[in-house]
Amino acid sequence: MNVLGIETSCDETAAAVVRDDRTVLSNVVLSQLDEHRPYGGVVPEIAARAHLVHLDGIVGQALEQAGLGFDDLDGIVATAGPGLIGGVMIGATMGKSLALARGLPFVAVNHLEGHALTARLTNDVPFPFLLLLVSGGHCQLLAVDDVGRYEKLGGTIDDAVGEAFDKTAKLLGLGYPGGPAVEQAAQSATDPDRFALPRPLNGRPGCDFSFAGLKTAVRQAADKLPVSEDGILAAGDRADLAAAFQNAVADVIADRTRNAIATFREGRGQAGTLVVAGGVAANKKLRATLETLADGADMPFVAPPISLCTDNAAMIAWAGLERLRRGVRDGFDFKPRPRWPL
Ligand code: KG4
Ligand code: ZN
């Protein structure tokens, strides 16, 4: 079974072909970063226009790199939400049109389900598993019992963790996108412990997250530091503050995930696997922290390769494939959904 996936829910125009034996035959991702960078964030109208211009060519490239034509496909899958509605409409319409024209089944995939099932594309992870989904727009702990069967154990009550990284980067003058910039700055830190940042909700019961207070604490710490004439922090201060922030985030996530492991076990009577997904899963400090946590809980830990953690279409193709082989099909009247909880 070969499936073409399309992903256009944010600022990556992506198409990929995945086979049911878990081979990624192609995975083409065109980032629109350069177009959004001057604005310090993703501009929805610019994103939609760029998807419209590039998607056709990206789909062609994905098929070419896979060495396949439309006749070799068994289904077409597109992200149908949640996300920026302009982009989602473009991707979903492209998917439906191709499926209609070629007489292929169409599957509308929830972007979050794409992230959630990535670990089953890269590793042999059985259901149920415990998922930490951390991206620019989402921050959740979920029990994944089967395809389409998710129980939310906790979520953020304010910012998503990727958002916190992005805002902190902006505050420190580290540019956009923030996550990789904060991680890189943190690498040259010499004394991250000189900033005592809070660990919101740590030690409290439950699996919810909060990052707004942490971001404010970074701002207050930064405000006390000397800046150059054009308002820029010294590189050393910036590095220490970035590392202090990253350590606080890792502590918070470890504390919340520890509670989720207990809840997951209680409810399911088995250890399961700890899986991390979403763009923030690219963060090495976070990966190491989760690995230690899983080790301590005697639980296997799976973190997909970074190229499959950030937005891509291989994860969408795979989620669609998991649905297709269970006999799921969606109609051409499926409406794109800007909001769509799992
Ligand atoms: O999953 P994703 O590509 O898009 C969404 O669906 O949101 O996640 C993007 C988010 C951004 O907030 C970005 O700053 C963050 O993931 N991110 C990172 C790293 N790489 C990307 N955060 C921390 N450390 C990283 N290395
Ligand atoms: Zn995403």
Interface pTM, i.e. ipTM: 0.98
Q: What is the pLDDT of residues 269-280, one digit of tens each?
A: 998 999 999 999
Of all protein residues, the one whose alpha carbon is nearest to atom 18 of ligand 1 is: 179
Q: Do residues 91 and 81 lie in contact, with contact meaning Cβ atoms separated by under 8 Å?
A: no
Looking at residue 22, what is its pLDDT? 98
CB of residue 210 inside a 6 A radius of ligand 1: no
Q: Does domain 2-117+307-324 have CATH number 3.40.50.720?
A: no
Q: Which of 11, 42, 165 to mutate to test the pocket of ligand 1 (most atoms within 8 A of CB)?
A: 165
Delimit the domains of the chain by residue range.
2-117+307-324, 127-303
Examine domains 2-117+307-324 and 127-303 and report if their fold is the same. Answer: yes
Cα–Cα distance measured from residue 210 to residue 139, given in angstroms and rounded to the nearest whole number: 10
* AA identity, residue 151: E
CB of residue 278 inside a 6 A radius of ligand 1: yes
CB of residue 179 inside a 6 A radius of ligand 1: yes
C-alpha of 248 from chain center: 20
Q: What is the pLDDT of residues 182-225, one digit of tens each?
A: 999 999 999 999 999 999 999 999 999 999 999 999 999 999 99
Of all protein residues, the one whose alpha carbon is nearest to atom 23 of ligand 1 is: 179
* pTM listed for this prediction: 0.94
Residue 175 has pLDDT above 90, yes or no: no
Q: How far away, in angstroms, is 269 Cα from ligand 2 center?
A: 30
Q: Which atom of ligand 1 is nearest to the CA of 83?
A: 6
CB of residue 165 inside a 6 A radius of ligand 1: yes
Cα–Cα distance measured from residue 178 to residue 159, given in angstroms and rounded to the nearest whole number: 14
What DSSP state is assigned to residue 209? B
Q: What is the pLDDT of residues 246-295, one digit of tens each?
A: 999 999 999 999 999 999 999 999 989 999 999 999 999 999 999 999 99
Q: Do residues 243 and 180 lie in contact, with contact meaning Cβ atoms separated by under 8 Å?
A: no
* AA identity, residue 123: N
Q: Is 300 exposed, middle or buried, given 0-12, 13-18 or 19+ CB atoms closer than 10 A?
A: middle
Q: What is the pLDDT of residues 115-145, one digit of tens each?
A: 999 999 999 999 999 999 999 989 999 999 9
Q: How far away, in angstroms, is 99 Cα from ligand 2 center?
A: 24
Selected from 3.30.70.270, 3.30.420.40, 3.40.50.300, 3.60.15.10, the CATH number assigned to the domain covering 127-303 reads: 3.30.420.40
Instruction: Mark the binding-site residues, compressed into ranges.
Output: 111, 115, 133-137, 166, 179, 183, 283, 311
What DSSP state is assigned to residue 301? E
Q: What is the pLDDT of residues 77-113, one digit of tens each?
A: 999 999 999 999 999 999 999 999 999 999 999 999 9
Coil vs helix vs strand at 201: coil
